[in-house]
């Protein structure tokens, strides 16, 4: 077969569609984390997919550096199978052709099935995994509140359809559990989940947790911690492209990414391999431009299309909330829910720090009476927490400060109302539930047992 004819055959590769192939070069250098191709530099742009054939399969990588000496390609596959002298081809932008039948499936970052199911049906329209967000001027406004069924969120940080919220916490404080509880929320047509850098066991736990109730409308994109940084960096982008497909069908989509920090770690590894300098705590500058680009893609769509409500978990390394990645993400999102290790240590789950969490669109979710009630309760919680040490030491005498006396009666009841475990049913009306808890006599044993 002539080499031109052979190239014609490179149009599709296992569920992943690429643009028509035109130009090839030769692999000249192979290292444990990338290979270099000569002869392509004038034709390639950063981010293009490059492929070569090994053992009858096309091995795909991404051009992460282009200079006059050649192109640095980082393969998606962890194992570098490139050989010096092999021809490598430009495959263009990485594109997916999502289809409604992908609901209920578990796939990898390159949209290859990971479950036992049949090959994925390919849709008619290709979606770039690196799409631009819709322009700000054509986007619909976020205005419709949604009940998540989680009392701590519906009361203190109500969210809206099309909002982007971060869940910030150290490891083991309950981010993933909270996300699975949120995935039970009934108001969405399609749920797309990106699990990035999780352990295999955690992926199973996630799949078998509360999300199993909604699994029929859920597409799971999984890249475990042992996969290459390229796959881990790709998983949320693939999930986002799938969410964009369903949004364009008019669906109200819930996109969950757990965790964006692991995505940032993977992006850092790729950037460093490409020779970028490390600026903030080892992160290369491109990480901080890629993050907002990815997060901006969630949100409302054009006026007549659907929307993507984004929930992103952010791991706070060593519980340091000033981590540059956390800072960058916090600035991009429309709200953040902070989980606190001290609260988890008291056994109060979800361990949401209601004073440290904000939803920038909360006003749309509250009536003015509810807003006033929440403001007053927050004031009481602040008094209660500020006086914790004093009260513990027995330094406070009841009757000295009427506001603190009121906080001591009310706040434990509020905390009790906020407890929810994944096995508990979702709350239909959080304010009614709260009122019920507040009416219980103080110290009552009638309160539901702690989870
Ligand atoms: N709502 C909850 N109710 C009861 N236990 C919880 C809850 N959320 C978290 N936990 C406990 O915390 C542990 C760690 O939660 P996980 O969601 O895996 O944390 P992270 O994703 O932040 O590392 C869980 O195994 C569970 O024991
Ligand atoms: Mg987790």
The tens digit of pLDDT for each residue in 266-291 reads 999 999 888 888 887 888 899 999 99
Give the tens place of pLDDT for each residue, 404-432: 999 999 999 999 999 999 988 889 999 99
Q: How far does the centroid of ligand 1 lie from the alpha carbon of residue 344, in Å?
A: 8
Cis upstream peptide for 350 (omega within 30°): yes
Q: How do strand 16-17 and strand 49-54 relate by DSSP bridges? A: unpaired
Residue 313 CA to residue 338 CA, distance in Å, equals 10
Contacts of 5 (CB under 8 A, 6+ apart): none
Q: Ligand 1 site: residues with CB under 6 angstroms?
A: 169, 171-177, 349-350, 420-422, 451
pLDDT digit string, tens, across residues 321-349: 678 899 899 989 999 999 999 999 999 99
Atom of ligand 1 minimally distant from the CA of 258? 21
Residue 284 CA to ligand 1 center (angstroms) comes to 32
**From the CA of 445, how far away is ligand 1's center (Å)?**
25
Q: pTM for the complete prediction?
A: 0.88
Q: How far is the CA of 434 from the centre of ligand 2 (A)?
A: 28
Report residue 440's pLDDT band, with 50, 70 and 90 as the boundaries.
confident
In the reported structure, the alpha carbon of residue 419 is separated from the centroid of ligand 2 by a whole-number distance in angstroms of 19
Q: What is the pLDDT of residue 7?
A: 37
> Can you give the pLDDT at residue 319?
67
Rounded to the nearest angstrom, the distance between the alpha carbon of 253 and the centre of ligand 2 is 22
In which band, very low, low, confident or very high, does the pLDDT at 295 lie, cut at 50, 70 and 90?
very high
CA dist., res. 122 & res. 349, Å (int): 41
State which ligand 1 atom lies nearest to the alpha carbon of 420: 1
How many Cβ atoms sit within 10 Å of the Cβ of residue 317? 13
The answer to whether the CB of 212 falls within 8 A of the CB of 423 is no
Ligand closest to Cα of 174 equals: 1
More confident residue, 90 or 2: 90
Write the residue with the smallest CA distance to atom 24 of ligand 1: 174
Looking at all shown ligands, the one closest to residue 197's CA atom is 2
pLDDT of res. 408: 93
CA nearest ligand 1 atom 16, residue: 174
Please name which of 260, 268, 266, 252 lies closest in space to residue 294, comparing C-alpha atoms. 260
- Closest Cα to atom 9 of ligand 1: 174
The better pLDDT of the pair 7, 33 is held by 33
Give residue-wise pLDDT tens across range 3-25. Answer: 434 334 444 444 444 545 468 89
> Which tops the pLDDT comparison, 142 or 377?
377
DSSP-derived secondary structure letter, 360: T
> 203 C-alpha to center of ligand 2: Å?
9
Best mutation site among 151, 174, 260, 423 for ligand 1, i.e. most ligand atoms within 8 A of its Cβ? 174
Binned at pLDDT 50, 70 and 90, residue 443 comes out as low
- Rounded distance, CA 252 to CA 434, Å? 29
Mean pLDDT of 75-98: 86
- Cα separation, 408 vs 442, in Å, equals 10
pLDDT at position 26: 94
pLDDT digits (tens, 9 = 90+) for 363-398: 999 999 999 999 999 999 999 999 988 888 888 888
**Smallest CA separation from ligand 1 atom 4, residue:** 421
Query: Which residue lies with its CA nearest to atom 8 of ligand 1?
Result: 174
Q: Which numbered atom of ligand 1 lies nearest the CA of 339?
A: 22
> Which strand (E) or helix (H) includes residue 150?
none
Q: How far is the C-alpha of 110 from the C-alpha of 16, rounded, in Å?
A: 7
Helices 260-273 and 229-248: crossing angle in degrees, nearest 10, is 130
Kindly give the distance from the C-alpha atom of residue 377 to the centroid of ligand 2, in angstroms, as a whole number: 30
pLDDT at 358 over 60: yes
Q: Which value, to the nearest 10 degrees, does the dihedral of the CA atoms of residues 199, 205, 210, 215 take?
A: 80
Phi-psi region of 438 (alpha: psi -120 to 50; beta: other; left: phi over 0): alpha
φ and ψ of 301, to 5 deg: -90, -165
Whether 223 contacts 195, CB under 8 Å: yes
Mean pLDDT estimate for the chain: 88
Percentage of the chain beyond pLDDT 70 is: 92
Of ligand 1's listed atoms, the one at least distance from the Cα of 315 is 22
């Amino acid at each position: 077969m002539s080499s031109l004819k052979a190239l014609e055959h490179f149009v599709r590769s296992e569920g992943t569609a690429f643009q028509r192939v035109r130009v090839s070069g030769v692999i000249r250098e192979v290292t444990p984390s990338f290979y270099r191709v000569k002869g392509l530099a004038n034709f390639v742009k950063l981010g293009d997919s490059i492929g070569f054939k090994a053992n009858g399969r096309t091995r795909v990588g991404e051009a992460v550096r282009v200079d006059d000496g050649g192109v640095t390609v980082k393969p998606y596959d962890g194992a570098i199978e490139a050989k010096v002298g092999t021809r490598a081809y430009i495959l263009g932008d990485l594109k997916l052709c999502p289809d409604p039948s992908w609901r209920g499936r578990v796939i990898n970052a390159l949209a290859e099935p990971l479950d036992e199911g049949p090959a994925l049906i390919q849709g008619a329209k290709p979606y770039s995994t690196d799409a631009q967000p819709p322009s700000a001027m054509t986007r619909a406004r976020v205005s419709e509140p949604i009940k998540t069924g989680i009392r701590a969120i519906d009361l203190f940080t109500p969210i809206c359809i099309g909002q982007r919220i971060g869940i910030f916490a150290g490891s083991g404080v309950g981010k993933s559990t909270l996300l699975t509880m949120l995935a039970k929320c009934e108001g969405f047509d399609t749920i797309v989940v990106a699990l990035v850098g999780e352990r295999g066991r955690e992926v199973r736990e996630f799949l078998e947790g509360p999300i199993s109730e909604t699994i029929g409308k859920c597409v799971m994109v999984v890249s475990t911690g042992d996969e290459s940084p390229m796959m881990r960096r790709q998983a949320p982008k693939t999930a986002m492209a799938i969410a964009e497909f369903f949004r364009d069908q008019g669906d109200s989509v819930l996109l969950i990414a757990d965790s964006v920090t692991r995505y940032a770690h993977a992006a850092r590894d790729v950037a460093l391999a490409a020779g970028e300098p490390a600026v903030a705590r080892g992160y290369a500058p491109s990480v901080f431009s890629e993050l907002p680009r990815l997060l901006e893609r969630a949100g409302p769509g054009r006026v007549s299309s659907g929307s993507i409500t984004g929930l992103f978990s952010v791991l706070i390394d060593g519980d340091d909330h000033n981590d540059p990645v956390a800072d960058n993400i916090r600035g991009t999102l429309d709200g953040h829910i902070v989980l606190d290790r001290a609260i988890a240590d008291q056994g109060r789950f979800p361990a949401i720090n209601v004073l440290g969490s904000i939803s920038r669109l909360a006003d749309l979710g509250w009536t003015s009476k509810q807003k006033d009630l929440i403001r007053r309760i927050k004031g009481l919680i602040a008094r209660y927490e500020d006086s914790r040490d004093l009260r513990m030491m027995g330094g406070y005498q009841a009757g000295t400060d009427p506001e603190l006396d009121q906080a001591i009666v009310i706040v434990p009841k509020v905390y009790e109302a906020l407890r929810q475990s994944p096995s508990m049913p979702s709350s239909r009306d959080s304010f009614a539930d709260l009122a019920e808890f507040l009416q219980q006599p103080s110290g009552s044993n009638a309160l539901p047992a702690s989870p």
